[in-house]
Amino acid sequence: MKLFEYEAKEILKQYEIPIPRGELATSPDQARDVSNRLSAPFVIKAQVLVAGRGKAGGIEFAETPDDVKAVSARMLNIEIKSLKVNAVWIEERLKIKKELYFGITIDRSKRSYIAIASFAGGVNIEEVATKTPAQINKMIIDPALGFRNYHARQMAREIGYSGKAMLTLSQMFRKLFQIAMAYDAELIEMNPIVETIDGEFVAVDARLIIDDNALYRHPQYKKRLLLENKTELTATEIRAKKAGLAYVQLDGDIGIMGNGAGLVMATLDAVHLHRGKPANFFDVGGGASESQIVSALDILLSDPRTSVVLVNILGGITRCDYVAKGILKAMEKCDSKKPLVIRLVGTNEEEGRRILTETGIHVLDNMDKAAKRAVDISLGR
C-alpha cells in the first residue's frame, strides 16, 4: 500500500528527520492561506499515489501566495496517470547545493533488505542504476544485525561525505531504516535528500510503500485501502477486494479468470503466446464457492474494457458443477452478450459440462485451445 508524500513526511518528522515546512491543502483558497503561514518562495506538489508526477505537471513553483492559489487551482483540476488530484502539499522552497538519494527496499534474490545510496538524487533512481551504475552504492542488510551506525557511516562516506556532515547524514539513514522496520516497508526512500547552501540535510521528498500482508499491524491505513481516491487501486480492483478476490487490472481486452495464481499466470502466458492482451489477473482461489464465481464473472462481464471473457478452471477443491452454476447465475445477473470461452476440468467436470452444454455453452478441456479461441474472438478472426 502506497502512502501519500505528506503522510510519509509526517512519519519522517516523527522520527526527527528534517523536512521542509509545509502543509496540506484541498482548495485554492486553503492553499493561499497555507502559504501565508510559510516563507516564500514555495513548492506546490500534487498528492497522487504515482511516481513521475513532476514530468506530468504535478510539481510547480510559486513566489507569492496569490501565485500559490493560481497554481493550486490549476493542479486540483488535473489528472496524473488517470488519478485525480484532490490535494496539494505546499512547502517552503530551499536553496539547494546538492541532491542525494537514500532508500531501503527488498532484494528478493537475496531474501533481505537492501540499503541504496547515491550522490545523484532528484531523478529516477532506476535510470541512474541503468545508465551510470557506478553512482549507486548498495548494502545488503543482514537480518540478524540490522542496519547499524557503522553501516550508515560507511554509506555516507561512499557518497562523498566525511566529518560532521557524514555523521549527520548517517543518522538520517539509520532513522529511515528504523521507519522501514516499524512500518513493514516494501520500499521507503528520500529522493532527494538535499544539502542546502547552509550545510543542512533535508528530505524534500519521501515515498513509503507498506507490505499489504502487514496491514493488520497498521489499521489506520488498512481501513482506507478500499476507499477511492485514498488508494492506488482502481474502482474494479476495490470491488474485487471487497468480495475477497485477488484482482489486478491490466491494459488489454481479454477478461481472464482462474482458480489459483499459478494457473492464472499460465493463462496470461497462453494468451500472450497467441498475441492477445489480457485485461486483468483474476484469481478466485483454489476453493472458490459458487457465490465467488458469480461475483468474479459479474465483475468481468460488466467491465466495459473486456470484449471476451476466458474462464480457466482446474477443479480440485473447487467443484466444476459449482463453477458451471455460478457462470449461469452471473450471465443471468449481468444480462451480458459478451462471448465466454470456458475451459473446465477436474472434480465433477462431467456434471459441470452437462450444466453448461445444455444451455448452449461450449466447454473446452485444453487451456491452449481456449486461450487461442479467446484471442481469435478478441481480434475478430
Asked if pLDDT for residue 116 goes beyond 60, the answer is yes
Q: How far apart are CA 236 and CA 228, in angstroms?
A: 10
Inter-residue long-range contacts of 354-363, CB under 8 Å, 24+ positions, other chains counted: 355/321, 355/324, 355/325, 355/328, 356/324, 356/327, 356/328, 359/328, 361/327
pLDDT at 286: 67
Domains, the chain, with CATH or none: 21-92 (3.30.1490.20), 96-222 (3.30.470.20), 233-379 (3.40.50.261)
Asked if 96 and 190 touch (Cβ cutoff 8 Å), the reply is: no
C-alpha cell at 251: 491494459
Q: Which helix (H) or strand (E) holds 9?
A: helix 5-14
pLDDT at 9: 97
Q: CA 19 → CA 230, 282, 375, distances in Å? A: 23, 41, 51
Q: Residue 335: which residues within 8 A CB-CB, separation 6 or more? A: none
% residues pLDDT > 70 (the chain)? 97
pLDDT at 231: 65
pLDDT at 59: 94
**β pairing state of 280-283 and 88-92:** unpaired
**β pairing state of 280-283 and 246-249:** antiparallel
Q: How far apart are CA 258 and CA 246, in angstroms?
A: 10
Query: Which residues are identified as catalytic?
Result: 101, 189
DSSP 3: P
pLDDT tens digits for range 208-228: 999 988 989 998 887 776 565
> For the residues 178-192, what does the mean pLDDT come to?
96
Q: How far apart are CA 191 and CA 101, in angstroms?
A: 5
pLDDT at 229: 56
Measured at the CA of 7, the angle between CA 281 and CA 17, to 5 degrees, comes to: 125
Average pLDDT of the residues of the chain? 90
Alpha-carbon radius of gyration of the chain:
25
pLDDT grade for 230, boundaries at 50, 70 and 90: low
pLDDT grade for 87, boundaries at 50, 70 and 90: very high
Q: How far apart are CA 160 and CA 117, in angstroms?
A: 11
pLDDT at 226: 58
Q: How far apart are CA 344 and CA 358, in angstroms?
A: 15
C-alpha cell at 119: 550522490
pLDDT tens digits for range 302-324: 889 999 999 998 877 778 888 88
Record the pTM. 0.77
Collapsing DSSP to helix, strand or coil, 329 comes out as: helix
Q: How many other C-beta atoms can be found within 10 angstroms of the C-beta atom of residue 346?
A: 16
Collapsing DSSP to helix, strand or coil, 140 comes out as: strand
pLDDT grade for 371, boundaries at 50, 70 and 90: very high
pLDDT at 123: 75
pLDDT tens digits for range 236-252: 888 888 877 889 999 99
> For the residues 352-381, what does the mean pLDDT come to?
90
pLDDT tens digits for range 260-288: 889 999 999 999 999 999 999 999 876 66
> For the residues 33-47, what does the mean pLDDT come to?
96
Collapsing DSSP to helix, strand or coil, 322 comes out as: helix
Asked if 60 and 73 touch (Cβ cutoff 8 Å), the reply is: no
pLDDT tens digits for range 323-344: 888 888 888 887 778 899 999 9
Asked if pLDDT for residue 295 goes beyond 90, the answer is no
